[in-house]
Amino acid sequence: MHKSFRNNLNGAQTDTSAIAGLPPALVALLVQLLALSVVLLLVATALLQQWRIYEWAVLQGLIAASISYPLKLSIWWIPIQLFFTPALVATLALALSPLWFFAGFLFIVLIYGKTYQTQVPLFFSSQEAAQALASLLPSQKNFSFIDLGCGYGGLLNKLAEVRPDGKFHGIEAALLPCLLGKFQEMVSTSDKTIRWGDFWQHNLSSYDVVYAYLSPVPMQALWGKACREMRPGSIFISNSFMIPGIRPDKIVELSDFTESALYLWQIRKDTE
């Protein structure tokens, strides 16, 4: 993620659709259905009966994209809205078995879990982030570290390699990455545990370091959770995403392909 894009994301904070409270993916789907209804209405009233199906699809895409703009869906939704139905029509022309679509859907659900709701997709901390993070770990033995949304535990593996004296934990909501992480945990000798679950339901009071690489969306609420639950003296580190309005105690710029940074906050008695 380029620096300007990251700043943009931090500034944007949320994907602010005009239909408050609904996840943007759901708003986008409702817009698609609305645009489809308009096209079907036009077809029913004989206005478009001379058109071919792909022409209907292009018109439907244009309507969906133009409704998305005033609804303030983020800019990257516009091409998705535009090409969604034309791509669907083109794919149907391949006459694939419906099982392929079901398998694709299942695969995406297993890998991405509830991304449509959490707005936190799966991507991984870079090697540079792992190295910088290792240098920020406490010097005392047996410190405990948790990665909130740990994916398959790749970052935990790297850190456990550098600091075998630490206790590493991860919690992940998506099933497939978590199962992969569990499998690695079984064959690994390092002090590492990965569990399947929702980190919002997990208490953070027992950790010396809490790490998050998520998205701008949960950061404000996550800071509230960290302030309520984390012990004074422990540290909260976010990769790439700032907590709005809260100045970090330390920023470590990374020279990875995303040109991101690690933001570090030390929890104090009066932190809020």
Spatial distance between the Cα atoms of 18 and 74, rounded to a whole number of angstroms: 11
Cβ pair 41, 60 in contact under 8 A: no
Cβ pair 149, 124 in contact under 8 A: no
Rg (CA), the chain: 22
Closer to ligand SAM by CB, 86 or 177: give it: 177
In the chain, the N- to C-terminal Cα span, in Å, equals: 29
Could you say which of 68, 125, 234, 258 contacts ligand SAM (CB under 6 A)? Answer: 125
Establish if 185 lies at the interface with ligand SAM (CB under 6 A): no
172 contact partners, CB below 8 Å, separation of at least 6: 149, 150, 151, 152, 153, 178, 181, 194, 195, 196, 197
Spatial distance between the Cα atoms of 196 and 107, rounded to a whole number of angstroms: 17
Establish if 172 lies at the interface with ligand SAM (CB under 6 A): yes
- For 42-48, which contacts have Cβ atoms below 8 Å and span 24 or more sequence positions? none
Q: Give the range of 5-13, 23-31, 33-41, 167-175 binding ligand SAM by CB under 6 A.
A: 167-175
Tell me how far, at minimum, the Cβ of 217 lies from ligand SAM, in Å: 9
Establish if 177 lies at the interface with ligand SAM (CB under 6 A): yes
The packing angle between helices 154-162 and 127-136, to 10°, is 50
Could you say which of 23, 24, 61, 113 contacts ligand SAM (CB under 6 A)? Answer: 113
Could you say which of 28, 120, 210, 242 contacts ligand SAM (CB under 6 A)? Answer: 120
- Please give the residue whose beta carbon sits closest to ligand SAM in the complex: 149
Establish if 101 lies at the interface with ligand SAM (CB under 6 A): no
Q: How many residues bind ligand SAM (CB under 6 A)?
A: 23
Could you say which of 69, 101, 107, 124 contacts ligand SAM (CB under 6 A)? Answer: 124
Establish if 262 lies at the interface with ligand SAM (CB under 6 A): no
Contact characters 127-156, ligand SAM, x per CB under 6 A: --------------------x-xxx--xx-
Phi and psi of 239, rounded to 5°? -85, 120
* Tokens found for residue 179: 């199962």
Q: Give the range of 24-32, 132-140, 165-173, 224-232 binding ligand SAM by CB under 6 A.
A: 165-173
- Tokens 């994209």 map to which residue? 65
- Residues at the site binding ligand SAM, with contacts judged by CB under 6 A: 113, 118, 120, 122-125, 147, 149-151, 154-155, 171-174, 177, 198-200, 213-214
